[in-house]
Amino acid sequence: MRWSVGIEAQGDRAFGREEIVELADAVAASDGIATGIGSDRYGAQLLVEAASRDEAIEAGTAIFKAAARTAGLPEAPVVRAEAISEEEELEELS
């Protein structure tokens, strides 16, 4: 099942445009987008394949942390992690 996973990490400073663009490039392979320009949080919304919500969050978090390292962002604690399945998303729209 496909899941949309949203994750945010909170740092100790505001993140610049170039840093978040690097994060966006790093999550693009997972159909991801990045957020956080000018904020002390950086985040991503990405798609993963998983059997359950917990597995989706675990997989998404691993991809997110690797992407943050690739982007050169400092390691920061994850303060938000949520997932919604494609089925749930379709139900909300109907």
Distance between CA atoms of residues 10 and 29, nearest Å:
23
Q: What is the pTM of this model?
A: 0.92
Q: What is the pLDDT at residue 93?
A: 80
Number of domains in the chain: 1
* 24: containing domain: 2-93
Closest CA relative to residue 6, chosen from 39, 58, 43, 41: 43
Work out whether strand 41-49 and strand 78-85 pair parallel, antiparallel, or are unpaired: unpaired
What are the tens digits of pLDDT across the range 22-37?
999 999 999 999 999 9
Local confidence band at 5 (pLDDT 50, 70, 90 cut-offs): very high
Q: What CATH number did the domain enclosing 41 receive?
A: 3.30.70
Whole-number average pLDDT of the chain = 95
